[in-house]
Structure 1
Amino acid sequence: MSDDHTGCGRAADRTQAFAGLTDHYRAFRPGYPEGVLDTLREHVRAGATDAWPDPWLLLDAGSGTGISTRALRALFGPGPRVVGVEPGHDMLRAAQAEGGGVDYVAARAEEVPFADGSAVLVLTAQALHWFDRPAFYAESVRLLASGGTLAVLNNNRDLSGSAFVDDHEGLLERYSPGYDRHHRRYDLVGELAGTPGLTGVVEHTHPWTRELTTDEYLGAALSSSRTAAVVRELGEERTRAEIRAVADRHFPDGRVLMPYTTQLVVARRV
């Protein structure tokens, strides 16, 4: 799952919020910077003990179309078992169709069907804001072996100092009921530090810029559940026109520059 969630205006079953959006999601969502992924891998390896299960089990909660799940396979190589955990029917089908040497289970992040202490990594990428966070943290503690890693990974649009991003977010706030650009502004480090069974919480950040054509920017915008809410308000034709107008105002040459800060927060299972 992923992106742009607040309490109002969402589908009754929020696990299905990306129904019908998977083609755009799969085609236009970004991956994650290589250096951030390397940091994640080294954190996992640093916690390894002889008591860990063999093969290692790496879980990706809220795995969506499998962008982060396949990244784990590439990052850790062929040895570990990599499993995406995803309740969204469309997202799960799209992920399974991509293959990539990984497995998937249909389940919620708060109720993962694996045994206590069976995983060495529980990752959630671009999805934590959809979860019952305290329940997910507790479930991760249950799943992780001692020394294992809970990791939260987000590609956040950089909201500071960009007239373009301000324009983009303003469009969503005007026409997507209940949307607030600050929906991820919660104390993630504090929440993890306060979770029994976790220790050594560390946050890493990595600023970067994604270059897109206007069509790619449009496709990425249309992959969002919040833009889907705009479509319900304005209709698809006007929504597309409004999104293109944002790009044209700031990047008339068609070279759209979207600033991101990728956030990785890791904690160790006691």
Structure 2
Amino acid sequence: MAKYKERTEEDLFIKPKRRAKNFFVTSSAKMDEKDGVTKTTISSSVFTEMSKSFADGEYLLDDGIREINGSVLYMLQEMQTDIDDLYNEASASAFQSSYFPVARIDSGSFADVSSSGLITMMTASIGGGIFTSASLAAGGGGGSVDFEQVDSTLAPDGDDSRDLGFGNRQWRNLYLDGTANIDSLSADSFAKPPAPVVLTATTLKSSLVNVTGLHTLVLNSSNALSITGLRPAHSGQELTIMNIGSGAVTITRASNLAVRTIYNAKGASLTINQHQAYKFVCNPNQVWYQIS
């Protein structure tokens, strides 16, 4: 979002005071001058006569007045047009909205104020229109966003920076047709159990086998294979090792409870022959136990 800086008095180019002086001042007190006129003041009765003369149009109808003051009358008319423009701007309060880049918000409701001072706005009344947090984030066009017909990617303004919903205001159902890339999944229950992840291997890169994300490891080799440890994804992970190959699989077990080892009180090895399967579970210290 663009950063705006509200303009200061120095940016407005408003002069501290006007250069022009008054043509005259009007006095309601009795004046000593015979005609009720001095170089700076006229009597209220003279002013009334001047107003009547203007109302009667004498400055146009009287040839003598019009011909002598024609150029001045023209310029005064041009000035009147300029004054009318300024009046329309000020009276309609258009000056603020057109000149200042930050619009005035008449009222609004706020969801949160962060420790850094960031205000999360739910709704706002701006110039008579009601805007929602979604429409404000989208640029304020129209005052609303139709989320039933989204024609572009929905993305946060930074990686791993925004949430969808709140702990006490959760979305109900989520429908996806594709791949859900989730770093960590916390679920109360599964309506359907997740499909087990199965890996079939004919060779092993190392005797310390990486089984993160696996439920079942299927080995199919004509040669003998050896496993000395298993790298788990998390505590409580269960893993089934199945041998469908002719080569025996030897699992070296240990009694020292070392990380990623398969425990056996006597340290005896386990042999998995063809068409045999064994199941293991990982404890919080990343030590595996045979459970079946």
Q: Give the TM-score, by structure 2 length.
A: 0.15
From the CA coordinates, give the structure whose radius of gyration is larger: 2
Q: Higher relative CO (CA 8 A, sep ≥ 6), structure 1 or 2?
A: 1
Compute the TM-score of the two structures, normalised by the length of structure 1: 0.16
